[in-house]
């Protein structure tokens, strides 16, 4: 009985290691503005690895005067627009 319990616990631990080794999910974030203090949180989170810790591979697309985030989102070039 103890052998079976230890084997089950070992299997669960191994499955957890395999799940952690999977590639991060890609996510494209389109901003409405150029990089400034207002959008610093997105870039700081990326630099500190917070997205990777959450299992995300985030790519941030800077906005600008000629960028309409809703159009970029509708075209499928971004997953999230802010």
Q: What digits encode the pLDDT tens for the residues 41-56?
A: 999 999 999 999 999 9
Position 59 pLDDT exceeds 80: yes
Q: pLDDT digits over 4-33, tens only?
A: 433 344 544 555 555 555 789 999 999 998
Q: Rounded to whole angstroms, how far apart are CA atoms 34 and 76?
A: 20
- Look-up: residue for tokens 């991060």? 24
Phi, psi (rounded to 5 degrees) for 7: -65, -40
The pairs formed by 13-17 with CB atoms below 8 angstroms and a separation of 24 or more are none
Q: Rounded to whole angstroms, how far apart are CA atoms 28 and 73?
A: 10
Q: Given strand 56-61, what is the order of strands in its sheet?
A: 56-61, 25-30, 80-81
Please tell me the predicted confidence (pLDDT) of residue 4: 45
């Amino acid at each position: 009985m103890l052998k079976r319990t230890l084997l089950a616990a070992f299997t669960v631990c191994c499955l957890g290691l395999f799940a952690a080794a999977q590639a991060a999910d890609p996510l494209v974030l389109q901003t409405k503005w150029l990089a400034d203090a207002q959008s610093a949180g997105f870039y700081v989170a990326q630099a500190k690895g917070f997205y990777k810790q959450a299992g995300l591979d985030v790519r941030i697309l800077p906005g600008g005067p000629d960028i309409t985030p809703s159009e970029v989102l509708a075209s499928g070039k971004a997953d999230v627009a802010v």
